């Protein structure tokens, strides 16, 4: 870490795959030092085209300054880049550049580039070391941590992938200053999620500081990124491969959210927006099942609204409740078509609830908001 950079370091405890997440303004400048100390001589930067001349260039400069030879491959912005076609293009580019196992991959961008570059690193030459340099809020609090990598097929999102932990994550909170408002707000949905599932104090901080958080006050942004990353790291370290059920709590709001994304088409709703609506449904479901008092659902609703997140679908043609339930039954997290949801027990605590009657879910989806 360069001495001029004040970073908070969060460790992801995973025995021989343990790594550090450095969070703070300016940590991009530490990329060279980080890769250098890991013995990298050469690096391939896979960068979102939207951050090429800004953040990816800064990463490149830092690596070169540390004496690391670099090559940058831009990736078009947008979910469509998480494709077989794009993966093949990157594999061929690495082959042409004679990349070998001593070359490190550096992903610079949001979750799209992180998932894609991570997958390329996991598969090329049976595995290259990868570093995540997340530049969206979603990526800094969620996708860059935990080693899930992958691409989409026509048949579904993230259907091909691998668990491939990064060597390190450098989350420069200053990069978030250039993020479009809608993308930033969408990332806040995942932060609200962490509060709901694991941390009532985080939830309360969001309630108290909503205005400053929306204004991207640096200290507030850093605080929520550090807390969210810490929570994600602790879940991942206890259930790396989603086997014990613990990691599944990260899907709070997502069963509903994925159904909306599927029904409406990716791109219309941002992921975080779909999750915000999904969390609203999940809270309503928990209230109807008598699991939580209505007050918790009301507070979640108020917080999402204060953060400018949607709590219902935008007007326009909407999928029927029946269509949404059918999509949920096909979700890859569903076992044998039985509906299961992560539902609140209290603020900061959730549990996996199985075998919920479809009729209750249909009622929740059909309610007039
Ligand atoms: N692996 C995981 O655990 C995990 C978790 C959550 C989401 N994801 C995946 O992440 C993806 C979504 O990620 P995302 O929300 O970061 O979207 P994204 O990667 O598409 O980035 C959103 C937009 O922001 C632009 N951008 C990125 N950084 C910027 C910056 N600093 N300034 C200005 N513009 C910037 C990009 O060009 C893009 O247009 C989805 O594919 C999702 O499946 C993965
Ligand atoms: Zn999510």
Question: Rounded to an integer, what distance in angstroms lies between the CA atom of residue 187 and that of residue 114?
Answer: 15
Instruction: Give the closest ligand to the alpha carbon of residue 117.
Output: 1
Per residue in 79-88, is it b (16+ CB within 10 Å) or e — as a string? eebbeeebbe
Q: Which helix (H) or strand (E) holds 62?
A: helix 57-65
DSSP 181-206: HHHHHHHHHHHHHHHHHH-HHHHHHH
338-356 confidence digits (pLDDT tens): 789 999 999 999 999 998 9
Question: Rounded to an integer, what distance in angstroms lies between the CA atom of residue 188 and that of residue 270?
Answer: 12
How far, rounded to the nearest angstrom, does the alpha carbon of residue 83 sit from its chain's CA centroid?
18
- Which atom of ligand 1 has the smallest separation from the CA of 82? 41
Pocket test of ligand 1: the residue of 138, 165, 225, 267 to mutate, having most ligand atoms within 8 Å of its CB, is 138
Distance 8 CA to ligand 2 centre (A): 23
* Three-class secondary structure of residue 92 per DSSP: helix
How many helices (H) and strands (E) the chain has is answered by 14, 11
Look at residue 348 in the predicted model and tell me its pLDDT: 98
Look at residue 337 in the predicted model and tell me its pLDDT: 64
Residue 174 to residues 25, 69, 134, 171, Cα–Cα distance (Å) = 5, 25, 11, 9
- Which atom of ligand 1 has the smallest separation from the CA of 157? 43
Confidence check: pLDDT of 283 > 90: yes
189-242 confidence digits (pLDDT tens): 999 999 999 999 999 999 999 999 999 999 999 999 999 999 999 999 999 999
Look at residue 3 in the predicted model and tell me its pLDDT: 46
Residue 184 to residues 57, 58, 143, 270, 273, Cα–Cα distance (Å) = 22, 21, 14, 11, 11
Distance 91 CA to ligand 1 centre (A): 21
- The mean pLDDT value of the chain amounts to 95
The residue whose CA has the least distance to atom 7 of ligand 1 is 143
The residue whose CA has the least distance to atom 42 of ligand 1 is 111
Look at residue 329 in the predicted model and tell me its pLDDT: 86
Question: Rounded to an integer, what distance in angstroms lies between the CA atom of residue 50 and that of residue 57?
Answer: 12
* Three-class secondary structure of residue 97 per DSSP: coil
* Three-class secondary structure of residue 48 per DSSP: strand
85-94 confidence digits (pLDDT tens): 999 999 999 9
303-329 confidence digits (pLDDT tens): 999 999 999 998 888 899 999 999 998
Residues with Cβ within 8 Å of residue 167, at least 6 apart in sequence: 19, 38, 104, 129, 130, 131
Instruction: Give the closest ligand to the alpha carbon of residue 177.
Output: 1
Question: Rounded to an integer, what distance in angstroms lies between the CA atom of residue 57 and that of residue 329?
Answer: 44
Instruction: Give the closest ligand to the alpha carbon of residue 257.
Output: 2
Q: Are 43 and 69 in contact (CB under 8 A)?
A: yes
Confidence check: pLDDT of 137 > 90: yes
Distance 139 CA to ligand 1 centre (A): 6
Q: Provide the residue count of the chain.
A: 369
Look at residue 60 in the predicted model and tell me its pLDDT: 98
Residue 13 to residues 148, 238, 344, Cα–Cα distance (Å) = 16, 8, 27
Residue-range domains of the chain with CATH = 8-178 (3.40.50.1970), 182-366 (1.20.1090.10)
Instruction: Give the closest ligand to the alpha carbon of residue 111.
Output: 1
141-198 confidence digits (pLDDT tens): 999 999 999 999 988 889 999 999 999 999 999 999 999 999 999 999 999 999 999 9
Mean pLDDT of all residues in 284-310: 98
Distance 251 CA to ligand 2 centre (A): 7
Question: Rounded to an integer, what distance in angstroms lies between the CA atom of residue 293 and that of residue 295?
Answer: 5
Distance 145 CA to ligand 2 centre (A): 12
261-281 confidence digits (pLDDT tens): 989 977 789 999 999 999 999
Pull the structure tokens for residue 106: 């550096």
Confidence check: pLDDT of 101 > 90: no
Ligand 1: which residues within 6 Å by Cβ? 48, 50-51, 55, 77, 79, 82, 109-113, 115, 135-136, 138-139, 142-143, 146, 148, 158, 175, 178-179, 183, 271
Nearest Cα to Cα of residue 197 among 259, 137, 254: 254
Look at residue 368 in the predicted model and tell me its pLDDT: 73
The residue whose CA has the least distance to atom 10 of ligand 1 is 111
Q: Which residues are catalytic?
A: 126, 148, 190, 232, 242, 247, 251, 254, 258, 271
The alpha helices in 83-217, defined as continuous H runs, are 84-96, 111-123, 137-138, 181-198, 200-208, 210-214
Nearest Cα to Cα of residue 2 among 62, 71, 80, 69: 62
Comparison of pLDDT for 17 and 267, the residue scoring more: 17
* Three-class secondary structure of residue 231 per DSSP: helix
Confidence check: pLDDT of 369 > 90: no
Distance 186 CA to ligand 2 centre (A): 10
């Amino acid at each position: 870490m360069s001495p001029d950079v004040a970073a908070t370091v969060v460790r992801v405890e995973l025995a021989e795959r343990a790594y550090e997440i450095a969070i703070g303004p300016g940590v991009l400048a530490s990329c060279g030092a980080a890769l250098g100390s890991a013995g990298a001589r050469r690096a391939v930067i896979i960068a979102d085209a939207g951050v090429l001349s800004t953040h990816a260039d800064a990463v490149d400069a830092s690596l070169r300054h540390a004496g690391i030879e670099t090559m940058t491959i831009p990736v078009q912005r947008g979910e469509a880049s998480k494709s077989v076609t794009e993966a093949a293009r990157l594999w061929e580019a690495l082959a042409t550049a004679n990349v070998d196992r001593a070359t490190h991959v550096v992903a610079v961008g949001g979750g799209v580039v992180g998932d894609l570059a991570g997958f390329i690193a996991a598969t090329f030459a049976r595995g290259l070391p990868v570093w995540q340099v997340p530049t969206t809020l979603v990526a800094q609090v969620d996708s860059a941590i935990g080693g899930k990598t992958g691409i989409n097929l026509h048949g579904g999102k993230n259907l091909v992938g691998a668990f491939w932990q990064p060597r390190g994550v450098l989350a420069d909170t200053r990069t978030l200053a250039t993020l479009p408002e809608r993308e930033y707000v969408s990332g806040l949905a995942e932060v609200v999620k962490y509060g709901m599932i694991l941390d009532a104090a985080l939830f309360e901080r969001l309630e108290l500081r909503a205005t400053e958080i929306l204004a991207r006050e640096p200290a507030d942004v850093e605080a929520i990124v550090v807390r969210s990353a810490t929570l994600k790291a602790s879940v991942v370290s206890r259930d790396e491969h989603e086997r014990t059920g613990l990691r599944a709590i990260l899907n709070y709001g997502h069963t509903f959210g994925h159904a909306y994304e599927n029904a409406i088409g990716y791109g219309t709703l941002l992921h975080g927006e779909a999750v915000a609506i999904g969390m609203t449904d999940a809270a309503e479901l928990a209230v109807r099942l008598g699991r939580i008092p209505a007050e918790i659902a009301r507070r979640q609703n108020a917080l999402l609204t204060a953060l400018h997140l949607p709590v219902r679908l935008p007007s326009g043609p909407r999928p029927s409740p029946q269509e949404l339930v059918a999509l949920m039954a096909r979700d890859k997290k569903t076992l044998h078509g039985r509906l299961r949801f992560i539902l609140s027990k209290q603020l900061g605590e959730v549990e996996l609830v199985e075998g919920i009657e479809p009729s209750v879910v249909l009622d929740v989806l059909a309610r007039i908001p």
